[in-house]
Amino acid sequence: MTAADLAGLGTPLRPGDPPPPAPGRPWPLPADAEPAAAPRRPPAVDSLTAVRGLAAVWVVLFHFKADLHALLPLDWAAPLIARGHLAVPLFFVLSGYVLALNYAAAFGRGLTASGTKEFLLRRLIRIYPLHLATLLGTAVMAAVGTRLGGTPDPEKYGLVDFLLNLALVHAWVPFYEQAWNYPSWSISAEWFAYLLFPPLAAGLWRVSAGSRGRAAVGLVAGLALAATLAIALFWGAFGLPYAMPASVVGPFTVGAAAWVFQARATNPWRPPGWTLWAAVLLLVVGASLPGYRRAAAATLIASVGVVVLLGAAGDRSPRAFRWGPLAALGEASYALYLTHAMAQKVLYTLLPAGRFDESALAVRLGVIAAYVAVIAAAAWLAQATIERRVVPWLRRRATVRRPG
């Protein structure tokens, strides 16, 4: 399973990102990606970044749920952990909301081919390097496993799937099966959403002026939410084609429309703090409900509530969501999301949880600590090298090569 730019999985303005351009001006890539040169981010972005980090951890727990159950059975937490895949729609609501916050007004004032190209280039530079690194890393691991006598599953490590992953379109096929670095399906779906974003943002902004315009945008958000619920409840059961990209467009549109609706308000509403905590409680309780359909519906609605309320609160959001460690977790969430499956392969080979399920509690806790250390180390390495060095370097190169 996503986050990308959370995106993914859209990523909020990072310290190296420039502010949106003035009307009619091209979309400049930063000449310098140093944090010290960055403009101050909107207060809402910090809180939303923390949510992104928590959502990424939820997905990781979901992918390790069998190991957690073997090493430390926690019946009270098991239902919530087992629904960690429901964090993915939250990523896409976040993505649409934050991209709209950063770019919708500018696209609404002038949708141009050069502006669209610049936007897509920026997003590709943001998400592709780490995707490529983890794909190649997974390929190396598969090759090493083969040399050591293993037999990789041809349905999960085939050439066609590799090429589709390389092109970042592997989630666009009619009936997608997870292969190679399996969480990256949502990055592929996120890229699909990025391609749709410029005309979507321009349309939402242009029709949103006045009370009738805001009502129209609210209607779009409601219809997108209803479509997302329908897909979540019925699409998978019927096995219809193109489920992956279709499942992204709805929550992405909900997020973008929600921000435009808020931004166009004459008297912006600042929600009281208890409303946000109520939405968080609904999300946790809803995800733990028996029955997938009820849990999916409750979680999706609560996810929209959390994002919208945090965005509306701005700098008045609860301090817990602006806590430094949570913000750091959010900044590392993309690296955590894309590397944890690779860490999983290593851990399953060297330290399978099933070997320790009857060991003493201290031993089992030690194994859990080792799992956490390996997962965290992989994420840290990816963030320190790819995200903090390669991505800024590519941005600078793109700026230098830009004509004019």
Find how far residue 243's CA is from the centre of its chain.
Answer: 17
pLDDT digit string, tens, across residues 354-402: 888 888 899 999 999 999 999 999 999 999 999 999 999 998 888 755 5
Q: What angle do CA 286, 50, 353 make, to 5 degrees?
A: 70
pLDDT at 5: 42
Q: In this structure, is residue 170 part of a structural domain?
A: yes
Q: Which two tokens stand for residue 186?
A: 């949502």
Q: State which residues form the domain around 396.
A: 35-272+316-401
Q: Which of 322, 379, 400, 355 is nearest to 134 (CA)?
A: 379
Q: Which two tokens stand for residue 143?
A: 């090759």
pLDDT at 239: 61
Residue 396 in contact with residue 18, Cβ under 8 Å? no
Q: In this structure, is residue 277 part of a structural domain?
A: no
Q: Which residues, at least 6 apart from 188, have a Cβ–Cβ distance to it below 8 Å? A: 165, 168, 169, 170, 171, 172, 244
pLDDT digit string, tens, across residues 33-47: 333 333 345 555 678
What is the C-alpha to C-alpha distance for residues 371 and 67, in angstroms, rounded to an integer?
Answer: 10
Residue 331 in contact with residue 49, Cβ under 8 Å? yes
What is the C-alpha to C-alpha distance for residues 292 and 305, in angstroms, rounded to an integer?
Answer: 20
pLDDT digit string, tens, across residues 295-310: 888 888 888 888 888 8
**Domain tally for the chain?**
1
Q: In this structure, is residue 278 part of a structural domain?
A: no
Residue 236 in contact with residue 166, Cβ under 8 Å? no
